[in-house]
Amino acid sequence: MKYTLEIQTGLVSEPVRARFAMLIPVLQGMLYSTKRQMIEQCGGYDAITFETFCRIYNEHPGDYGICFEYAVHDSIRAKQPSIYAKVSYILDQFCRIGAKAESILFGSEKNGKQTILESAKSILTDNSKLLPGTQARPTFLKRHIDNISLAMRHGHVANNLPSSIRGVWKADLFLGNPDSDYWVATTLKTNRLSIEPAPGLRIAMYPEERPNEEPRADGSLILCPLPYNSEFMQLFGATFQIVKHIISARGKMPNLVALVYFHDQEVAKWLTDRSHFPLVEILAALESIKQVDLLGQAVQESAEGDNDVAATAPIPLVHAC
């Protein structure tokens, strides 16, 4: 899977330039979710024009959906204040392993992407220990990481894992402190009601249900609500709609019924005036005119294959709790 993470780092102060900034992850998410074979038939990523792209694109559910796993993962690694501070607090006060938080992306390995598994192995040491959610001895994580990866797809492998870490294959992240070398399996859900406890899971993350919701223990799990900001998501949604309307018009300017707001029209005109240029060149041109302090980006490359799925993960500007 290919993840594009967009972290809001500034306020929306310039509506048109803010939309230019958001166009980049929206267009990238759509481009990389399109089957590679179709892109190659049109000359490849470097050659396909925006107009041609509009004719071959078919929306994938992941194009708009929040790529929650990688969003949280990269926020922690980038020390994004509100999320990093909360995770560090939980690791220190609830898990007692210290506050120097680090994250290992693991959830995408459920799809068999070996690049994710190898990345996890490179971070772990032979002494890395996994703290289970139950009262049991820590387990050497690296020793079991291959079987944890296989357990999601093969029941007999899951049954051979130590009972104290059963269900650890449901983890999306391993959070830990590299100094103490202790780690905890973490599940991420976009809805708290979808959380399923398991002996191997220690932390559950989800978007907060009310402002300033605090972490708390719930049975064997530590619940970690993450902050949410509607303004950023509204900008993301508006920009996504601009692109969708242009695609519906096959790369031409949509009518005023589709785009009634001036800022949306101005952005759409800029994009459609350049529809005969390669999309990657349009993306490069957007870099110089976007609101420069709005977003920071991180990308997780996908493995080769025609069935790769791309997802764009917007993360709002939030205040530390």
Backbone CA torsion sign across 97, 101, 105, 107:
positive
Backbone CA torsion sign across 53, 54, 58, 63:
positive
* pLDDT value for 268: 95
Size (the chain), residues:
321
- 287 with 265, same domain? yes
What is the rounded distance in angstroms from the CA atom of residue 201 to the CA atom of residue 179? Answer: 21
Mean pLDDT of the region 191-219? 87
The answer to whether 300 touches 70, Cβ cutoff 8 Å, is yes
Residue 104 lies in a domain: yes
Mean pLDDT of the region 39-56? 91
What is the rounded distance in angstroms from the CA atom of residue 192 to the CA atom of residue 213? Answer: 12
Residue 189 lies in a domain: yes
The boundaries of the domain holding residue 246 are 2-65+230-315
- 105 with 165, same domain? yes
* pLDDT value for 316: 53
- pLDDT tens digits, one per residue of 236-292: 678 888 998 999 999 999 998 899 889 999 999 999 999 999 999 999 999 888 765
- 280 with 175, same domain? no
- pLDDT tens digits, one per residue of 175-194: 998 889 999 999 988 778 88
Residue 77 lies in a domain: no
* pLDDT value for 85: 84
- 181 with 251, same domain? no
- pLDDT tens digits, one per residue of 74-93: 667 767 666 788 889 999 99
Q: Confidence band (pLDDT; 50, 70, 90) for 216? A: very high
The answer to whether 4 touches 312, Cβ cutoff 8 Å, is yes
The answer to whether 64 touches 240, Cβ cutoff 8 Å, is yes
- 52 with 37, same domain? yes
Q: Would the pLDDT of 6 be above 70?
A: no
pTM of the full predicted structure? 0.56
Structure tokens at 158: 């899951």
Domain count, the chain: 2
